Structure 1
Amino acid sequence: MSLRKPNDYVALDQADLVRLAQAGDREAFRVIMQQGNQRLFRMARGVVRDDAEAEDVLQEAYARAFAAIGGFRGEAGVQTWLTRIVLNEARDRVRRRRPTVDLDVLEQVQQQAEVIPFPNTFGGGSPEVDAARMQIRGLIERAVDDLPAPFRMVFILRDIEECSIEETAANLQLKPETVKTRLHRARRLLRQALDAQLGATMVGVFPFLGARCVRITEAVLARMEREGRLAPAGTFPAA
């Protein structure tokens, strides 16, 4: 049984945490998971595109990883090692459902694009603002889900998790130039998808008909009555 306090584990570097985990230390396993949970969940969800299944993937991947942690030699960081296990588990599930995506069908996609910021945090505004932000996030999440898997994984690591090109390449076992190419394509596809969705949405922005129309109309009429510029309701102006 470990005599360390919970805060002691947070201060440990990954190498020490791994050594403790290899010795069966429960809290070391907990901290390793807490440090990687968000990124690994996003990676799993980026492949399976379903929240519940992504959680299943993560749990199964952790179980497999920790069962094999005695053989971890540290050639890469433990989070990189876990990322590969999570991706393999997620891809195996997708492979059982449907064929893998063929990248050749997207060879003609332009590579020049602007960065699309992903909203990581929401809240702090009015309920209306928060609701609008949630709708925007939903649009972006659906657009990310619709990306071909190889582009989607690069986008999640680079633009959502803000990993470096080198770290992304290491996690996905790609060349840095491949990461750059796929990121350009992912951004272009996302911008095209969001332009299409937002273009249709913009038609209904700032609606005036309905309750807002009635409220404003009645307020103006009431003001005109108070100012004597309009006869009260139910009366008629003199001929």
Structure 2
Amino acid sequence: MPASPALSRLQPQPEADLVRRAARRDADAIRQIIKRHNQRLYRLARAVVGSNADAEDVLQEAYLRAFTSLDSFRGDSSLATWLSRITLNEAFARLRSQKRLKRAAPADVATGQSQIIPFPTAISGDDPERTMAQRQLLHLVEQATDDLPHAFRIVFVARVIEGLSVEETATLLGLRPATVRTRLHRARKLVKDRLEAQVGPILVDAFPFAGTRCERLTEAVLARLDLLK
């Protein structure tokens, strides 16, 4: 007996089916793909460019590039890997552009001290004191991650926060597995030392990208693809 339409909508759609529908500019399929991959792609982008606003800009451009060239996706890798590579390419391109602008800027422009941009969290507000403590701990984790050297930060985000394997991280970043292991070891020690000096070991659950922000970016991508009715 075939599944009812309502039940079918509740079941996760197979990746190949979503890709085919998205290639036909099906807005619902595009929404599902974005929601499935937003968290990872946002975290990877932010690990490269270092700010919320730049990461969202990178993500928009990456999605536009992906959804206007889905015909080039052959399934040789997973959709997640393909989207991650596009996102990282966009992020590194933006980083190079920012560096060129800094070099071209007048020498007397005061740069000031780098500022950590607060990240939205998904912490419940039922217990105000607990919520405040959790936010403070989460901020320390995010700040320690932001302060990592760039080469270490992207590996740390991919391996520790996103849970990619050594091999997946090496493939994604074009590194040797041994290099990934070395950078991860050094990154973990830097973060551990930073946190232990302040509050001791903490569990990392940082850089969320969901809810309203996810919805806003999804609608922005669809609008730029001229798919909003």
Tell me if TM exceeds 0.5. yes
The answer to whether the 8 Å contact 1:9/1:31 transfers is no
Matches within 5 A, 1:164-203: 164-198=165-199
Do residues 144 (structure 1) and 145 (structure 2) align?
Answer: yes
Figure out how many residues of one structure are paired with residues of the other and give that number.
Answer: 176
Structure (1 or 2) with the larger CA radius of gyration? 1
Moved more, 168-177 or 68-77: 168-177
CA distance in 1, matches of 2:178, 2:94: 28
The Cα RMSD (Å) is 2.4
CA contact (8 A) 1:80 1:170 kept: no
1:97 Cα offset (Å): 1.9
> 1:72 maps to what in 2?
73
Relative contact order (C-alpha < 8 Å, sep 6+): which is higher?
A: 2
Q: How far apart are the structure 2 equivalents of 1:198 and 1:18?
A: 45
Scaled by the length of structure 2, the TM-score of the pair is 0.69
Q: Which runs of 5+ in 2 are unaligned?
A: 101-120, 201-229
TM-score normalised according to structure 1 size: 0.66
Distance in 2 between residues matched to 1:6 and 1:44, nearest whole Å = 35
Instruction: Give the conservation status (yes or no) of the 8 Å contact 1:10–1:31.
Output: no
From the superposition, tell whether residues 126 and 162 of structure 1 become closer, same or farther in structure 2 (CA, over 3 Å). same
Distance across 1 between alignment mates of 2:80 and 2:6? 23
Secondary structure of the residue that 1:147 maps to in structure 2?
coil
Q: Which residue of 1 aligns with 2:55?
A: 54
Q: 1:47-69: per-residue Cα shift (whole Å, max 9, x none)?
A: 11111221111011101111111
Q: Find the aligned partners of 2:62 and 2:143 in 1 and give their Cα distance.
A: 25
What residue in structure 2 maps to residue 154 of structure 1?
A: 155
1:26 is the counterpart of 2:27: yes
Distance 1:38 1:59 in 2: 13
Kept in 2: contact 1:48–1:93 (CA 8 A): yes
Task: Please give the residue correspondences for 1:1-239 in structure 2 after superposition, counting only pairs within 5 Å.
Answer: 7-8=8-9, 10-98=11-99, 122-123=123-124, 126-198=127-199
Separation (CA, whole Å) in 2 of partners of 1:20 and 1:173: 31
